[in-house]
Structure 1
Amino acid sequence: MTIITKISAQKRPGRYNIFLDNQYAFSLSEKTIANFVLLKGKELTDNDIEKIQKFDTDAKASELATKFLSYEPRTVYEVLQYLKKHDVSDDSAALAVEELKNLGYLDDQQYIKLFIRNDLQVGTDGPTNLNRKLVQKGVDPDLIQNALEEVDEEEFIQVGFRLVKSLTNKAGRLSEREIQNKMKIKLINHGFSSSLSNNVVASFDLSLDSNEQMEALKKQGIKAYKKFRNFDEREKYFKIKKYLFTHGFSSDEIDAFLNGEVIDLDELSEY
């Protein structure tokens, strides 16, 4: 049997030093002291001390987890990893997580819905990227899949529209087909499926008028000429033709450029 002979506040708010039989024994939180009504002169058995320290350890884990959650929503996995970094035991971490779940502060299913909803409102990720990011946060893949299936395709089309809208500004510099291809590549890189990417692209009116298409052909043709100008005549025209074809221009458009119908070929040397 030991006796609490002194309780003193630490510099850290909410923590107190406990002295047993005139010697420092351990520190406790204000919550622990209040829970066990610890006062100077109180007698403690070894069993009492064990219970008090266990309670304090669990309370510390709960406090750490709550503080971590105060900055932004987290998943169960993220909270457990955070507590592990702070050397909290698995048992105490599990108790903290369970407590937060019961209080409604920790809910993976709700987290998934919020994560997806945020992307639909202001983000640029397609379903595949959302799934990957959520899996990295340690949530159940089945919960992710169920939540994604609840999203109407039109909502993801709006996300994709927002992602690639700026590419429409390239009209007159790139061919219609190349703008479409760049859109699809960007969409797929952001986690949109091929079919969903096609639907996003289809939501744009990308039909360039003849002047815009010819202007794009002129710009790309000049760029190709400058790139291959040092090749012999036959090789140069072959490479220009290949370059323009890979940039989305039709055979007729390419022939028109090489025949000098878009710009006088004699003027190309000025560029």
Structure 2
Amino acid sequence: MPLITKVSAQKRADRYNIFLDGKYAFSASQQTVAEFILLQGQELTNEKITEIKQFDADAKATNLASRFLSYEPRTIFEILQYLKKHGISDESADSAVDQLTNLGYLDDQKYVKLVLQNNLRIGSDGPRAVLQKLSAKGVAPETSQLELKNVADEAWLPVGQRVLKSMKSKIGKMSERELKQKMRAKLLTHGFDSGFSELILDEIDLTADDDDQLDALKKQGIKAYKKFRRFTGSERERKIRNYLFTHGFSSTEINSFLAGEVISEEELDEY
């Protein structure tokens, strides 16, 4: 039966070299040495050596995972990927995950709840974006969907309003219709579907007063005139009309601009 003939400290803190029958056999952490009382003169069976090595590998995996968790909450998938990156075997990684799960430090459902709480409080991701990000972190779709269903539609309103906050400054610079179109598009890119988008837009006052709307018509009308000034007659008028229509202005507003009631042609020529 192999005999421990020497236990020496490594340069790395808390690691020790174990010598059996005068030859280096394996290394172990201080935790492992204490757990199995590895002292000079102790005899070890081959089965006990295997048990010691597995315990040491599992402890290393758990300690690595614990440090990784100390910086911020993680999903089970993230922990497994991190341990794999550090050369931890699947067996030890699974052991670490089981231990941390039993201790309550790893729980994908709690992780989803935390992500949702933070996003609803200060974030800018809609439901679909949240779902995509959770999926990228390895959370099972059914786990995410279960928690998303518990969030009332009204709870997403502040999130959508944060997304659109900077765009409210565009009131008076473009038509109300065009501004709404751009806002819908932005909400879609942030993971809100059309239903949520309309719910959010209904809560935002985008109505421009007469002066704001007139300023927007002037601004876009001048842009259109400068863009198509090289054309003449009905061709220029047609292009300006189409331009203003695509920017959300009504036929009445467009006719008013083309008639020179908003800004005269003499003034336009100065631009």
Aligned to 2:14: 14
Partner of 2:182: 182
Cα distance in structure 2, aligned partners of 1:23 and 1:91: 28
Q: Distance in 1 between matches of 2:175 and 2:46?
A: 82
Following the alignment from structure 1 to structure 2, what is the Cα–Cα distance between the partners of residues 219 and 23? 86
Instruction: Give the unaligned 5+ runs of structure 1.
Output: none
TM-score (norm: length of structure 2): 0.96
The whole-number CA distance in structure 1 between the counterparts of 2:12 and 2:238 is 76
Say yes or no: does 1:101 pair with 2:96: no
Residue 245 of structure 2 is aligned to residue 245 of structure 1: yes
Distance in 2, matches of 1:93 and 1:215, equals 64
Aligned-partner Cα distance in 2 for 1:235–1:97: 71
Q: What is the Cα deviation at residue 19 of structure 1?
A: 2.0
| CA apart distance, 1:261 | 0.8
Give SS of 2:17's match: strand
Alignment-derived partner of residue 115 in structure 1: 115
What letter matches 1:232 in structure 2? T
SS of residue matched to 1:79: helix
CA distance in 2, matches of 1:22, 1:66: 35
Shift of 1:121: 0.5
> C-alpha distance in 1, partners of 2:236/2:16?
83
Return the alpha-carbon distance in structure 1 between the equivalents of residues 11 and 250 of structure 2.
Answer: 76
Residue of structure 2 in register with 1:261 after alignment: 261
Question: Which residue is 2:163 aligned to?
Answer: 163
Summarize the alignment of residues 9-48 of structure 1 with structure 2, pairs less than 5 Å apart.
9-48=9-48
Q: Please, what TM-score do these two structures have when normalized by structure 1?
A: 0.96
Residue 143 of structure 1: how far off its partner (Å): 1.5
For residues 15-71 of structure 1, the C-alpha deviation after alignment (integer angstroms, 9 at most, x for no partner) is 122222232222111111111011122222222211111111111111111111111
In structure 2, what residue type is equivalent to 1:72? Answer: E
| Pairwise CA distance, 1:256 | 0.8
**Helix, strand or coil: the match of 1:240?**
helix
Q: Which amino acid aligns with 2:71?
A: Y
After the TM superposition, which of the residue ranges 236-245 and 207-216 deviates more from structure 2?
A: 236-245
Matches within 5 A, 1:197-236: 197-236=197-236
> Residue 105 of structure 2 aligns to a residue in which SS?
coil
Partners of 2:98 and 2:173 in 1: CA distance: 58
Pair 1:128 & 2:128 matched: yes
Q: Could you tell which deviates more after superposition, 169-178 or 225-234? A: 225-234
> Is there any run of 5+ residues in structure 2 with no aligned partner, and where?
none
Q: Is 2:114 the partner of 1:145?
A: no
Which residue number in structure 2 is paired with residue 76 of structure 1? 76
**TM-superposition CA deviations, 1:121-166 (whole Å, max 9, x none):** 0100111111111111111211211111111111101110111022
Q: Distance in 1 between matches of 2:255 and 2:21?
A: 99
Aligned residue pairs, count: 271
CA distance in 2, matches of 1:203, 1:181: 15
Superposed counterparts of 1:41-56, under 5 Å: 41-56=41-56
Q: Distance in 2 between matches of 1:81 and 1:226?
A: 57
Q: Over residues 66-118 of structure 1, what are the superposed CA-to-partner deviations in whole Å (9 max), with x where a residue is unaligned?
A: 11111111111111111111221111111110100000000011000001111
- Once the two structures are aligned, what percentage of the paired residues are identical? 56
Please give the alpha-carbon distance, in whole angstroms, between the structure 1 residues aligned to 2:181 and 2:13: 59
Q: Deviations over 1:206-226 (max 9, x none)?
A: 111100000011011111112
Compared with structure 1, are the counterparts of its residues 231 and 9 closer, same or farther at alpha carbon in structure 2 (3 Å cutoff)? farther
Q: In the alignment, does 2:2 pair up with 1:2?
A: yes
